[in-house]
Chain A
Amino acid sequence: QVQLVESGGGVVQPGRSLRLSCAASGFTFSSYAMHWVRQAPGKGLEWVAGIWSGGNNKFYADSVKGRFTISRDNSKNTVYLQLNGLRAEDTAVYYCTRDARVGPGVYFDYWGQGTLVTVSS
């Protein structure tokens, strides 16, 4: 079965960096675009970034452009999110999600359990 397992969250000071990882299994990882979606405590969902199956096409929310970088390693079935210049407003649970279609769709049929990033001094 499809599994997405995030790791790398934690408490970090403003301005510092963090790298999130998402290990995928149960499907042909290299065929699917992958995305990160976040949810601040008690708030709604916010799409953060996406990367197409080959890794050459990447997209970002305006709120993170220039600070966050998405990447993937198809040999390791893993997608990453590098978070630089963290701000208090980046505090959220970060979910790894799979695009529902082979060939970008872009809505999400599988979600990881999430990893919590807390930005605080």
Chain B
Amino acid sequence: AIQLTQSPSSLSASVGDRVTITCRASQGISSALAWYQQKPGKTPKLLIYDASSLESGVPSRFSGSGSGTDFTLTISSLQPEDFATYYCQHFNNYPLTFGGGTKVGIK
């Protein structure tokens, strides 16, 4: 199974900061990667698919990039509602897997 390694596992940032989260795949997955946001007690929300396509309704401060094995999720200007845990997920083949998550906290 393809393993996804996210880094960092947690970070602290301030409102207005630019935040970058990395997801590395154990083998090439082309652009078959999605990103989700999960807030405490809530279900995950799809943010990005196909590595860089923004899901409808998601603010444009979120962006994704990468292909092959290295991917990033960037929040250009962190907002109070963005404090959450972020997960990457590949869909190159089965079994599907998620990264371990990155918790974005308040500095």
Contact = CB atoms under 8 A, between A and B. Distances in A.
Given A44-B100, A44-B101, A47-B98, A106 B44 contact: no
Interface residues of B, number: 20
Interface residues of A, number: 21
A88 interface: no
Interface stretch (B12-20, B73-81, B88-96): B88-96
Contacts of B38: 45
Interface string A48-59: 001000000001
A85 B49 CA distance: 35
A54 B96 CA distance: 20
Contacts of B99: 44
A100 interface: yes
Given A35-B96, A106-B96, 11 more contacts: A44-B98, A45-B44, A45-B98, A50-B96, A61-B95, A62-B1, A95-B43, A100-B46, A100-B49, A106-B91, A109-B55
